[in-house]
Amino acid sequence: MTSLRTFQNEIDEIRHREVVKQRAAGHATLEREKDKEHKKPSVGSKGVDSDEKATVKDAPAVKAHAVLDTDDELGKTEEEIQTCLLSGTQTNHDRARDMVASILTRGRGEHIFRIGARPLHTKLFSGEEITAGDKDGGISRTVEELDILRERITEIVDEVGGKTTVLFEERIVLPRITLLLRLPPPSVALTPEVRCAVVGNVDSGKSTTLGVLTRGALDDGRGRARVSLFRHKHEIESGRTSSVGMEILGFGPSGAPILPSTSHSNDPDVLRREKMSWEDISLQASKIVSFSDLAGHERYLKTTLYGLTSGSPSCVILIVGGNAGLIGMSKEHLAIALALSVPVVVCITKVDMTPANVLAETIKQVTKILKSPGCRKTPVFVKSMEIAVEISQTFAKQRLCPIIQLSNVTGEGLDYVRTFLNLLPASEGDTEKFMVDQPLEYCVTEVWSVPYVGTVVDGILNAGRVKAGDNILIGPDSNGNFQPTSIKSIQRKRAPVNSAEAGQCVSLALKRMRRAAVRKGMVIVHKIDAGPPRAVRQFEGQVLILYHNTTLQRNYQAMLHCGAIRQTVRIIGMDHPQGILRTGDRATVTFEFISQPEYIKEGMKLLFREGKTKGLGVITRIL
């Protein structure tokens, strides 16, 4: 028997090892293509080529620089900026301005600036009272110094074209202040985005919470807020989400949410009709939070699973009804998020209508499950703005699980949720997962046929860059072949852009491609002399059986989820001595795709299920 935690650590090691190999191979491919381009005599395009080469060449250097920026180094830079500003000389003022501009550039236009002594996180997160002796770094400041520094930092951020917002301020015990420094992005193509998957049981309040967050109007207690989110007639009639709904919430340079002007209306028809377009939000936003509203009903688990594996979310927001507790599909969704190693945030809703004893029982149950050996997470109750600010930066790295209690009717806790979402690090900033300095790889997660445009695909750039007019290959088709086409136009959050890079979610309009020839799970790559990537039918994987009520044998079939791929596979071999697998068993298993070949790589995580059977694994060898 292998524990889930041990197995996850092992598959993370395998994934990291394979990623390093693939990066080296990708760099070699790019260098070969660059050499060929260099040898080709080109007329009038020298400037563009040299610019692009410089960008590709500089990308690893920028990334390495970002890796060096540890919290300690940023803390020292902040202290140096404060010393320069307190000196009052023009030379030091200019030096501080240059340092602020530098940390903003490296932080993708955003930085949380702390002034004064920082309290111990252990005490802050446990909810204990902070005393004067609970200092953990930073330089102690007087209230007068806090005011001077706030004023001067605001001044220099204004000089570089940004905005300064006070997130939190304490003037009595350990005087301290936390500021948000933010630069408006030069275009929609460079706006930072955070992807969040919203999961939970039926009637836990997922759609209502999203309706309140994105539309601004509070709920009336009878489902008014969620109606504006439903996409289908049967969803409005049943009150249940059955599809993956996408919603976005924009935050302006000051950190205020961008909401429609009718957000204070009480008329449900007005709220449903007068919503802001994605393009309007994108053009005003300095940061965008994209929500995948996933179905809570057991019948739609396959859709929910696909949303979690294909959407590359930065975090999973698990909505728990305060009156019902962590029941039914909520446990299933939590288990899937843990299996995929995605950080989890818990929102306990309906606190206004839940009796105190029932709410206390729900909190006790959630805490117990999070601390259990299967989860091993430390629950942190977000009960102050300072906790919301600090936990947003640390929860993913330190196995913490923020718990926010909220009411969509009274608005209790919503400010903490908005502040938390506003400060989450951008999804494309995850350089371990998304590599700009690699050949193009784009995963198709949605396909549409748009009148007067043609076939449009939506998906995520896993690696590289793409721009309008690029010649590309899309595949594999049912025979494993890749078809040549080109990109007519690119949209990001429904706003037109000229280019996109790794980590971004964009829509591409394809030239002369039939809708029927494109499906979810396909990949788009650049045309290179080395030829298209190889599509495979069979592969080997290290697998842990999380649950099966009897035994798994050869020829067993299950639905496999691997990134944007969702297809039935058959087990054609295993290295288990008895040739059978039970719950808790681990083995090297050989799989075969039933319908058509797919493009997969070593190191990709896989999840397979059929009925109540669940298995987790990693691809170790392509056959």
What fold, for 441-526? Elongation Factor Tu (Ef-tu); domain 3 (2.40.30)
From CA 519, how far away is CA 476, in angstroms rounded?
9
Confidence of residue 456 (pLDDT cuts 50, 70, 90): very high
Confidence of residue 266 (pLDDT cuts 50, 70, 90): low
pLDDT over 60 at 44, yes or no: no
Where do we find the tokens 């601390």? 371
Would you state the pLDDT for residue 329?
82
From CA 157, how far away is CA 167, in angstroms rounded?
16
Q: Which of 100-104, 274-278, 534-538 has the lowest mean pLDDT?
A: 274-278
Domain boundaries, the chain: 71-182, 188-429, 441-526, 538-622
Q: Which candidate, 101, 235, 124, places its Cα nearest to that of 173?
A: 124
The string of pLDDT tens digits covering residues 72-84 is 788 888 889 999 9
Confidence of residue 333 (pLDDT cuts 50, 70, 90): confident
The string of pLDDT tens digits covering residues 57-75 is 333 333 333 333 466 788 8
User: How many CB atoms are closer than 10 A to CB 594?
Assistant: 12
Q: Which candidate, 442, 434, 435, 433, places its Cα nearest to that of 525?
A: 442
From CA 134, how far away is CA 557, in angstroms rounded?
57
pTM of the model: 0.88
Written out in words, the top-level CATH class of the domain with range 188-429 is: alpha beta
Confidence of residue 260 (pLDDT cuts 50, 70, 90): confident
pLDDT over 70 at 385, yes or no: yes
Torsion of CA 59, 64, 65, 69, to 10 degrees: 140
The string of pLDDT tens digits covering residues 16-36 is 898 888 888 888 888 887 777
From CA 5, how far away is CA 181, in angstroms rounded?
38
The answer to whether residues 545 and 585 touch, using CB atoms and an 8 Å cutoff, is yes
Confidence of residue 115 (pLDDT cuts 50, 70, 90): very high
Would you state the pLDDT for residue 134?
79
What fold, for 538-622? Elongation Factor Tu (Ef-tu); domain 3 (2.40.30)
- Quick check: do 441-526 and 538-622 share a fold? yes
pLDDT over 80 at 9, yes or no: yes
Burial of 284 (0-12, 13-18, 19+ CB in 10 A): middle
